[in-house]
Structure formats: structure tokens, C-alpha cells
Amino acid sequence: MAGFVQIIEFESSRVDEIRALGEEAEAQNEQGGTVRRVTVVADRDRPNHYSTIVEFDSYEAAMQNNDRPETAEFAAKMQKLTDGPPTFRNLDVVHHWEG
């Protein structure tokens, strides 16, 4: 398997606060987290709609990260900043190409 990706889709008018929260999470990940890369994208066609693409080495690494207390704390704080519940997509990577 080539890896695992989780996409978290959310709506928020408080993206700057979410970005600051994400920076805190980055620092915590360096202390035992399993996240390899995070990309946050804004939907050009729908204002205040965003997706966070989180990459892991494997599904197991993602589940290990989900079990961390820091991850639960981050999710609770983030949910307070969104305009509704996020949508999660859990994806196995079957092919990857970089140009």
C-alpha cells in the first residue's frame, strides 16, 4: 500500500483561527504524531468551504494518530470554529505521482 489520506471538509468564517490552531497541531505532531503532510485548500466556488488533506504512511499510522489525546483536543477546538460538523473521507492511496 502506498499510504493513507484523510480529507476533512468543513465550512467556517473563522479560517484564520483554524490556521492558528493548525500551527499548534503541527508543533504537537513533532512530539510523537504520525502525520506526514497537511494541505489546506479553499473552495473557489463556495466561499468559506475548505478541505484539509492529511497524509499518513498507512491506515494504521492514521488510527494511531487518532488515538492521541492531542488529536481529540484539536478536533474539539476546531469544531467550535466551524459552521457545522466536518465531513471525513478516509482514502487508501493506490497510486501516487509527483512531477
Rg (CA), the chain: 14
Establish if 69 belongs to a structural domain: yes
Q: Are the CB atoms for 34 and 57 separated by under 8 Å? A: yes
pTM of the complete model: 0.89
**What's the pLDDT tens digit per position in 29-72?**
887 789 999 999 999 999 999 999 999 999 999 999 999 999 99
| pLDDT exceeds 60 at position 1 | no
CB 57 within 8 A of CB 3: yes
Is 98 part of any domain?
no
**So what's the pLDDT on residue 96?**
86
Under the banding of pLDDT at 50, 70 and 90, the label for residue 76 is very high
Domain containing 62 equals 4-92
Angle between helix axes 15-29 and 69-81 (nearest 10 degrees) is 170
In a domain, 66, yes or no: yes
Residue 99 belongs to a domain: no
User: What is the domain count for the chain?
Assistant: 1
